[in-house]
Amino acid sequence: MTTEWDGEEYQRRFDALAESGADVHGEARFVRALGPGSVLDAGCGSGRVAIELARHGVDVVGADADPSMVAAARARAPELTWVQADLAELDLDRTFDVVVMAGNVPLFTPPGTQAALVAGCARHVAPGGLLVAGFQLGRGYELAAYDRDADAAGLALVERWSTWDRDPFDPTAGYAVSVHRAGR
């Protein structure tokens, strides 16, 4: 199987940003403010968000389809649980207070499979729990489609922001962070 990503190279970019003083933990800070005891980092990449959440005492599991990303995450935090799996087919036999898809996860899903991605993530949201997703707009998967997919998976929109720093939602901003609750 060929890997389109290089998990170590991907992580080096974030390390360089952090070394330059950039804040690379906005997603984790956003999720922590929701007060979860447990989080599934769906599309965890090299583990940046999951590792930061764990550092703050959150029970976290990271899952990603790319073996290079999971290997990079596992190398950085072998004590955490990392799962290599297609999120649409993921079945961890447990639920979480929050499932987060940070970093444009729906945009890296093959076209036409986003509904299955959202449903796969929704299966892991505890009753009353939250699915949080942040992704760029205008890249082939629009908010109306995401909201329909979330609704079909039993999730209701609670709030939407333009950034992980909770800037008020502006559809022209080009980015959305959406929070949906399980159980309508």
Q: How far apart are the first and last CA of the chain?
A: 40
The answer to whether residues 81 and 70 touch, using CB atoms and an 8 Å cutoff, is: no
Phi, psi of 148 (to 5 degrees): -65, -45
Domain of 35, in residue numbers? 24-182
* Among the listed residues 15, 180, 52, 176, the one whose alpha carbon sits nearest the alpha carbon of residue 104: 176
In a domain, 15, yes or no: no
Domain with 40 in it: what CATH number?
Answer: 3.40.50.150
Number of domains in the chain: 1
State pTM to two decimals. Answer: 0.89
Beta strands in 34-105 (DSSP E): 38-42, 59-64, 81-84, 96-101
Strands 125-136 and 175-182: antiparallel
Alpha carbon of residue 4 to chain centroid: 19
Question: If you count them, how many residues does the chain have?
Answer: 184
6 found inside a domain = no
Check if the beta carbon of residue 42 is closer than 8 Å to that of residue 87: yes
Q: Is residue 80 part of a domain?
A: yes
| Full pLDDT tens readout for the chain, 184 residues | 334 766 566 656 655 555 666 665 789 999 999 999 999 999 999 999 999 999 999 999 999 999 999 999 999 999 999 999 999 999 999 999 999 999 889 998 888 999 999 999 999 999 999 999 999 999 989 999 999 999 999 999 999 999 999 999 999 999 999 999 998 5
Per-residue pLDDT at 3:
42
Q: Does the residue 11 lie in any domain?
A: no
* 79 occurs within a structural domain: yes
Residue 26: per-residue pLDDT? 82
Joined together, the tokens standing for residue 149 give: 């997919």
Q: How many Å separate Cα 128 from the centre of its chain?
A: 18
User: What single-letter amino acid sits at 85?
Assistant: A
Using the CB atoms, write b or e for 78-105: b if 16+ within 10 Å. eebebbbeebbebeeeebbbbbbbbbbb
Whether residue 19 lies inside any domain: the answer is: no
- The values of phi and psi at residue 54, to 5°, are -60, -35
